[in-house]
């Protein structure tokens, strides 16, 4: 059964997959490399992926807060299904200066 949770941010998820492909490739190459350097390469690839996911989680949280702002400041406190009103994040923000995001 497909739910709102499964489909609401599909555009964001598709962008993430495209953005992660180079990093996932690094991880797959590291997994197939000789054992002498394998652990170091896997750890490096995992750090890159974790940092990327953390940055995008931050981006999605900022996007969500911005979309919820009208509900937060609504005098009627209209908290009726606000998540349904949050649009999909189909364009990721540019990396901040000094960020490791690529």
User: Could you read off the pLDDT of 64-96 as tens digits, one per residue?
Assistant: 888 877 766 556 655 545 566 778 888 877 776
Domain ranges of the chain: 9-85
Cα–Cα distance between 14 and 57 in angstroms, integer? 14
At 74 the pLDDT is 57
Residue closest to 48 by CA, chosen among 64, 75, 26, 73: 26
CA distance linking residue 24 with residue 13, whole number of Å: 15
| Interval 3-61: pLDDT, tens | 887 888 889 899 999 989 988 888 888 787 776 567 787 888 888 888 988 888 888 88
pTM above 0.75, yes or no: no
* Helix pair angle (35-72, 10-31), 10° resolution: 170
* Beta carbons of 93 and 59 less than 8 angstroms apart: yes
> Residue 44 is encoded by which pair of tokens?
């490096």
């Amino acid at each position: 059964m497909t739910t709102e949770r499964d489909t609401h941010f599909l555009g964001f998820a598709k962008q993430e997959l495209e953005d992660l492909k180079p990093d996932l490739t690094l991880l797959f190459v590291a997994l197939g490399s000789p054992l002498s350097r394998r652990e170091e390469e896997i750890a490096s690839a995992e750090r890159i992926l974790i940092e990327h996911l953390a940055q995008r989680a931050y981006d999605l949280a900022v996007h969500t807060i911005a979309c919820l702002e009208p509900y937060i400041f609504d005098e009627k406190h209209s908290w009726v299904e606000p998540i349904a009103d949050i649009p999909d994040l189909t364009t990721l923000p540019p990396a901040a200066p000094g960020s490791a995001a690529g």
